[in-house]
């Protein structure tokens, strides 16, 4: 077999293993053209050797007798020494590795850093002694970078020479205490580059500047907690919120919420959607519009009042298309009260925001790839929204408005029960049936009103269970509280904007005694 081929060695190994398949790992070992026959005794080894030689004779394999060794007690096989003691490492291989020359560079100056590091007694152990930190070598000295010009000596040679002692300096932080620590804390939190971050970020910024003291996290947390600006501008947590107060609704179409969605991708010249929702029935009216000015809002309201009557109140935010003279004239003409939501309490418009999210979700999943067709799909989205079950009212908005379930195209296709019934021309029977339907509608709306109250009470109970129990001395209507100030008169504010204030001076920092403080060995 020509051994110049790339797969010749593998083919030869498979051939040898096939010949001695019943002897390998039992009486002999084979690796390429090296055979090793072993035994527990002299007679056993001779018997196995005779069997191996007979197999070579049967398969026309010839052995080189000059390279063969018989009856040895130990020997080197594939770089390992095999004897009666087991497998050992060949010491000759180890001696060759230990006698290899050390790697060197052409110029000794370029190997200056390695030469100095090799002088260290413990190069990988931090043996930093606190007594070495003093005013003689401040941190600024270590950060200096000098320019050596055309010199072949690297710029960090001086630093390496300085550190070639009996320890390696990993991180040096200046340990401060007392007023100095407080000044650093104020600068890192309130300073021009502080940013009024939280306690953890402020502490990490102090570490980045190279300062440290033992109670840094505790002091930073207390300082940020008592920061006046952070308390005034920070968000109110859920536990600090006021208890929920639901909007009182007496009749259907009494209270409407109104809001704009958009701008969207232009669809037949329309970019906005004006949405109005009834707070009791969850009935939604929407219209695609090209603009969001006061003119289109007033036109939409007139159409809404003509179909559902004048409501008691309309709730909106303080956008310019709802806060203008033209809108106010229409509201005054129809005798409607206009209620605003504020930036401090946007939950007032929560119902219309939920409806906006529902309509947008339906449109996203129905328009497909042609996103410019949302104007054509708006009516279908309204149909789907009105015929969907609403948990607060216990049925669909369509059923509450019209007193019966909406007939869908699928019912005609698959022959629903109402589609198979024949018309009844008995006027007396039809009149009685109509009275029953009216009574059912009234009962259905009363049931929906009760479900809505139960749902709101349940949500209020869940919300109020997660907030703090706060008691005020003076209670005003609608969650109003009265606050006093030292240099002025008292003033009223909504309770949703009130949270606990941590006043007083900044607590003094605790300075430990470094002489008696246990050191970390």
Distance from C-alpha of 76 to C-alpha of 91, rounded to nearest angstrom? 10
Tokens matching residue 95: 């001696």
Q: Does 290 have pLDDT greater than 80?
A: yes
Q: Domain residue spans in the chain?
A: 8-98, 109-163, 255-446
Q: Does 458 have pLDDT greater than 70?
A: yes
| Residues constituting the chain | 521
At residue 443, the pLDDT reads 83
Higher pLDDT, residue 157 or 167: 157
Give exposure, 244-264, as e/b (b: 16+ Cβ within 10 Å): beeeebeebbbbbbbbbbeeb
Q: Nearest CA to 290 among 313, 279, 274?
A: 274
Q: Does 430 have pLDDT greater than 50?
A: yes
Q: Does 148 have pLDDT greater than 50?
A: no
CATH number of this structure's domain 255-446: 3.30.420.10
Higher pLDDT, residue 4 or 466: 466
For the ranges 56-70, 246-260, 441-455, the lowest mean pLDDT is seen at 56-70
Q: Dump pLDDT digits (tens) for 382-406.
A: 999 998 888 888 888 998 888 888 8
For the ranges 80-84, 257-261, 283-287, 325-329, the lowest mean pLDDT is seen at 80-84
Tokens matching residue 295: 């003119």
Q: How does residue 517 score in pLDDT terms, banded at 50, 70 and 90? A: very low
Higher pLDDT, residue 486 or 208: 208
Q: Dump pLDDT digits (tens) for 188-238.
A: 998 888 888 888 999 998 888 888 888 899 999 999 888 888 877 777 777
Distance from C-alpha of 151 to C-alpha of 119, rounded to nearest angstrom? 24
Q: Does 411 have pLDDT greater than 60?
A: yes
Distance from C-alpha of 312 to C-alpha of 293, rounded to nearest angstrom? 24
Q: Does 474 have pLDDT greater than 60?
A: no
Distance from C-alpha of 512 to C-alpha of 213, rounded to nearest angstrom? 9
At residue 257, the pLDDT reads 93
At residue 521, the pLDDT reads 41
Question: Is the sign of the CA dihedral 347, 391, 365, 384 positive or negative?
Answer: negative
Paired with 274 in beta bridges are 260, 287
Q: Dump pLDDT digits (tens) for 304-356.
A: 999 999 999 999 998 889 999 999 999 999 999 999 888 777 778 888 999 99
At residue 304, the pLDDT reads 93
Q: Does 39 have pLDDT greater than 50?
A: yes
* Count of CA atoms in the C-beta half-sphere (13 A) of 117: 12
Task: Please give the model's pTM, rounded to 2 decimal places.
Answer: 0.47
Mean pLDDT of the chain: 77
E strand or H helix that includes residue 81: strand 80-83
For the ranges 65-69, 134-138, 433-437, the lowest mean pLDDT is seen at 134-138
At residue 414, the pLDDT reads 65
Q: Are 480 and 149 in contact (CB under 8 A)?
A: no
Tokens matching residue 11: 């083919």
Residue with tokens 């010949």: 19
Higher pLDDT, residue 101 or 330: 330
Q: Nearest CA to 215 among 495, 510, 456, 435?
A: 510
Which of helix, strand or coil describes residue 70? coil
At residue 514, the pLDDT reads 45
Higher pLDDT, residue 161 or 205: 205
For the ranges 183-192, 335-344, 435-444, the lowest mean pLDDT is seen at 435-444
Please check whether the two domains, 8-98 and 255-446, share a CATH topology.
no
Q: Does 424 have pLDDT greater than 50?
A: yes
At residue 30, the pLDDT reads 81
Q: Are 284 and 359 in contact (CB under 8 A)?
A: yes
Q: Dump pLDDT digits (tens) for 1-27.
A: 565 677 777 788 888 888 888 888 888
Would you state the torsion angle of the CA atoms of residues 290, 296, 302, 308, taken in this order, to the nearest 10 degrees? 40
Q: Are 261 and 368 in contact (CB under 8 A)?
A: no
Q: Nearest CA to 170 among 215, 117, 128, 114?
A: 128
Distance from C-alpha of 319 to C-alpha of 333, rounded to nearest angstrom? 21
At residue 136, the pLDDT reads 52
Helix axes 199-208, 216-225, angle to 10 degrees: 130
Asked if CATH classification 3.30.70.270 holds for the domain at 8-98, the reply, yes or no, is yes
């Amino acid at each position: 077999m020509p051994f110049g081929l790339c797969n010749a060695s593998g083919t030869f190994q498979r051939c040898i293993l096939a010949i001695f398949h019943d002897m390998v790992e039992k009486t002999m070992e084979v690796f390429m053209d090296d055979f090793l026959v072993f035994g527990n005794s002299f007679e056993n080894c001779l018997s196995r050797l005779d069997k191996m030689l007979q197999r070579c004779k049967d398969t026309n394999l010839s052995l080189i007798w000059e390279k063969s060794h018989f009856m040895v007690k130990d020997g080197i096989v594939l770089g390992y020494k095999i004897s009666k003691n087991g497998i050992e490492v060949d010491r000759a291989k180890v001696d060759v590795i230990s006698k290899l020359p050390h790697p060197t560079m052409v110029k000794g100056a370029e190997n200056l850093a390695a030469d100095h590091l090799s002088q260290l007694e413990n190069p990988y152990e931090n043996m930093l002694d606190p007594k070495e930190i003093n005013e003689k070598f401040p941190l600024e000295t270590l950060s200096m970078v000098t320019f050596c010009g055309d010199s072949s000596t690297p710029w960090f040679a001086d630093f390496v020479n300085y550190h070639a002692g009996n320890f390696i300096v990993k991180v040096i932080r200046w340990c401060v205490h007392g007023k100095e620590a407080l000044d650093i804390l104020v600068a890192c939190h309130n300073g021009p580059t502080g940013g009024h971050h939280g306690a953890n970020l402020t502490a990490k910024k102090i570490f980045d500047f190279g300062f440290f003291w033992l109670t840094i996290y505790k002091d930073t947390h207390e300082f940020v907690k008592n920061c006046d600006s952070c308390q005034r501008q920070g968000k109110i947590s859920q536990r600090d919120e006021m208890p929920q107060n639901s909007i009182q609704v007496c009749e259907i179409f009494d209270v409407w919420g109104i809001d704009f969605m958009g701008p969207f991708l232009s669809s037949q010249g329309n970019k906005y959607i004006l949405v109005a929702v009834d707070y009791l029935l969850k009935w939604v009216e929407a219209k695609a519009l090209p603009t969001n000015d006061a003119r289109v809002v007033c036109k939409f309201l007139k159409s809404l009042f003509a179909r559902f009557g004048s409501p008691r109140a309309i709730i909106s935010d303080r956008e310019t298309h709802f806060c203008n003279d033209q809108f106010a004239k229409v509201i005054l003409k129809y005798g409607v009260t206009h209620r605003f939501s504020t930036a401090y309490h946007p939950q007032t418009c929560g119902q219309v925001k939920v409806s906006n999210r529902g309509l947008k979700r339906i449109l996203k999943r129905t328009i497909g790839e042609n996103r410019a067709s949302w104007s054509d799909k708006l009516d279908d989205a309204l149909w789907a929204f009105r015929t969907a079950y609403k948990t607060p009212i216990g049925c669909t908005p369509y059923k509450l408005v019209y007193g019966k379930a909406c007939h869908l195209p699928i019912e005609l296709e698959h022959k629903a029960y109402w589609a198979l019934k024949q018309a009844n021309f008995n006027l007396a029977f039809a009149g009685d049936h109509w009275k029953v339907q009216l009574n059912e509608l009234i009962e259905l709306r009363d049931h929906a009103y009760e479900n809505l109250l139960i749902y709101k009470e349940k949500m209020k109970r869940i919300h109020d269970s997660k907030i703090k129990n706060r008691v005020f001395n003076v209670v005003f209507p609608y969650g109003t509280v009265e606050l006093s100030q030292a240099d002025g008169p008292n003033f009223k504010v909504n309770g949703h904007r009130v949270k606990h204030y941590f006043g007083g001076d900044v607590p003094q920092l605790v300075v430990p005694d470094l002489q008696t403080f246990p050191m970390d060995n």
